[in-house]
Structure 1
Amino acid sequence: MAKVMVKPTGREAPFRDGELIVSKTDLKGRITYCNDVFLRVAGFEENELLGAPHSIIRHPDMPRAVFKLLWDTISAGNEIFAYVINMAKNGDHYWVFAHVTPSFDSAGKIVSYHSNRRKPRAEAVTAAAGLYKHLKSIEDAPSNRKDGMQAAYEEVLSILAKKEIGYDRFVLSL
């Protein structure tokens, strides 16, 4: 069955202050759990999400370089905070402030990932949106997607180096 391509509507999906979107994935990023808030905001039924790649809600304006940083961090056993723009099933968007952590078994091996997301402050969304627009322009410049993503990733690292701070501190400063 061919995947239906949904286009962004430009409308914001309703996501209220104080709500938490929760999901869990396996090591490959396939959804193994999603709470009711996730289902409502993203506009999916549970059976549509369970087993699907978490990227099912990826908004086309979200830089892949940020996801590379996220996956590099959590697969190394560390937690990460990030601002993410997601896309609901109908094309509406919603910004989240995500806290993503690896889950470990009794031997200390990573067995899954857990993410809690809440509604971010408007000022943080404005700052993140400006940065992400810049990173997307870098990603989209080369004809090779991999080269573009790597160039945008290097730009993130350069920004952090100039500010002399780590990514988490940078994100929390927005």
Structure 2
Amino acid sequence: MAAGQETVLDEYAFLVSETDSKGIISFANDDFCKIAEYNLEELMGQPHNMVRHPDMPKKAFKSLWDSVQKGEIWTGYVKNATKSGGYYWVFATVYPFESCDGSKGYLSCRRRASEDEIKASEELYRKWKLEEK
């Protein structure tokens, strides 16, 4: 895949990843690995923000972290980067959880975002990025 090229998820793609409380990847399913262009070994133990696209405003992730750290479920549209420098859009749902051993973490499930959802998100995120400057 060429740098800057969009990968469009098919309608059945379901990307799943799990992190610890600090955002370090402890699991990623095959769909996530395929779309992000990493193998599981490359992802394990790495910060989840390794797939963050630079177009994403800080405000979007502040909302995510504020929600999940309070134990709330977060949903939103995310533009992620691929290993080759491309990108893909998803509708993400992030669930905070506590394991039997008392450790906390986050489970993120993502599906394809529609063209209309992406267009609306791009406009909002462009505005937020301008506010950051």
8 Å CA contact 2:52, 2:81 repeated in 1: yes
Q: Write the letter of the residue equivalent to 1:114.
A: L
RMSD of aligned Cα (Å)? 1.6
Cα displacement (A) at 1:43: 0.3
Q: Does 1:131 align with 2:124?
A: yes
Q: Normalising to structure 2: TM-score of the pair? A: 0.94
User: Residues of 2 paired with 1:59 and 1:22: CA distance?
Assistant: 18
Structure 1: runs of 5+ lacking an equivalent: 1-7, 142-174
Aligned to 1:62, what secondary structure does the other structure show? coil
Structure 1: distance between partners of 2:16 and 2:59: 23
**Structure 2 gap ranges (5+):** none
8 Å CA contact 2:15–2:109 kept in 1: the answer is yes
Sequence identity percentage: 39
Q: Which stretch has the larger CA shift, 13-22 or 120-129?
A: 13-22
Q: Does 1:111 align with 2:104?
A: yes
C-alpha distance in 1, partners of 2:13/2:3?
Answer: 23
- Over 6 Å off, 4+ runs: none
With a CA cutoff of 8 Å and minimum separation of 6, indicate the structure with the bigger relative contact order. Answer: 2
Aligned residues: 132
After TM superposition, list the pairs within 5 Å mapping 1:1-174 onto structure 2: 9-105=3-99, 111-139=104-132, 141=133
Native 8 Å contact 1:24 1:115 kept in 2: yes
Normalized per residue, the structure richer in strand is 2
- SS of 2:12's equivalent in the other structure is coil
| 2:89–2:113 Cα contact (<8 Å) kept | yes
Bigger Rg, structure 1 or 2: 1
TM-score by length of 1: 0.72
